[in-house]
Every structure is written in structure tokens, then in C-alpha cells.
Amino acid sequence: MQDILDVLKTRRSIRKYKEDPVPEELIDRVIEAGLCAPTGMNRQETIILKITDPETVRTLGIINGKRMGKDEFDAFYGAPAVLAVLSAKDSPTALFDGCSVISNMLNEAASLGLGGCWIHRGKEQFETEEGAAILKKAGIDPDQYEGVDNVIIGYIDGEMPAPHPVKDGRVFRIE
């Protein structure tokens, strides 16, 4: 396992994946990292929908692509797994908690040698009739939960992109 700062410095958003499925034990570790994320007042109101069924992953990826304005575009870039993060609609910290969960999952995926990418439009994809049907199929009430965003994971097809330089001038101090 890598040092956490090394993971943070080298993790990149991956947009090209091999078709190979990710072993369940690796996906479960990524999910566990998400469940350990800090949440407002430790309410832990976020939930994670793990989708590895290829047809459902592609369907949701196309729904997401349409919400992006691109018909028939797989916004999940061929990744074999998607982890959709949702939160209770009445949670005052839903967006913040969901972002914390997503960040933890992306960093854990990188530490395991997996590619990952944060995919937006999580809320909008589940507001569609097709998206709501996916939630219902998983036993999630779309009237109680809304999407925050998604994490796609899989094995990188190609080379790991080089790290970008960290911009200067982003830290201010009062000492």
C-alpha cells in the first residue's frame, strides 16, 4: 500500500478502461473507504449504489451522457464498475458528505492500483425515469434519496497520465 500523500499527489482522473472486471474484494475496499469518510455531525446519511452489471453500467453511463448533452455517449468511459453516491434528500449536508465519500473512494482506488474518475450529473441522472428505475431495482426509494455524483473504477487502459504541477499562491496565512 502507498503512503497517503503519494497517492494524493499521483492520483489522476482516468477516462479509458480495460473491459476486465474489478475483483469484488477491491471494489469492497473502495466502498469501505467511502463509508469511513467524515460526514456532518457523523450522521452518515450517504449511501453507495455499487453497479457492476455491464448492461446497467452502460445504461446509466448513457443516461449521464444525455444529461451532459451528448446522446449515446457513455459518460462512464467504458469503466466496468460505477459507485453512485446518494444522500437523503432532507440532509442539510448531503452535497458535502457525498463529496467526502467520493474523495475517499477515489484515493483508495488509486492506492489499490485502479483507475478512477469522479463523474458529475449524479443528481440529474437519477431524476430521469430510467435512472429512478435503476434506483428502485436496487431497493432505493428515489423519493427519499438523490444522487450526489459517481465514481467509476477499473483497470487503466494505457499509461497513467503525468501529474499536473500544483499551482502556487493558493495558501494564505494568519500567524
Joined grid coordinates for residue 40: 456532518
The pLDDT of residue 163 is 85
pTM for this structure? Answer: 0.94
The answer to the question of residue 164 being in a domain is no
CATH code, domain with 42 = 3.40.109.10
Domain count, the chain: 1
Query: Cα 74 from chain centroid?
Result: 15
Q: Is residue 160 part of a domain?
A: no
Residue 127's domain spans which residues?
Answer: 4-154
For position 17, what pLDDT does the model report?
Answer: 98
pLDDT in tens, 39-56: 999 999 999 999 999 999
Domain membership flag for residue 90: yes
Give the three cell numbers for residue 119. 463523474
User: Within the chain, which residues score under 50 in pLDDT?
Assistant: none
* Rounded-to-integer distance, Cα 1 and Cα 107, Å: 12
- Residue 164 is predicted with a pLDDT of 86
Residue 84 falls inside a structural domain:
yes
Closest to 111 measured CA to CA, from 14, 24, 30, 15: 30
Query: In this structure, are residues 84 and 138 in contact, taking their beta carbons and an 8 Å threshold?
Result: no
Nearest Cα neighbor of 114 from 80, 152, 155, 163 is: 155
pLDDT at 2: 62
Burial tier of 73 (Cβ tally within 10 Å: 0-12, 13-18, 19+): middle
Rounded CA-CA distance 124/31 in Å is 22
> What local confidence, expressed as pLDDT, does residue 1 receive?
53
97 inside domain: yes
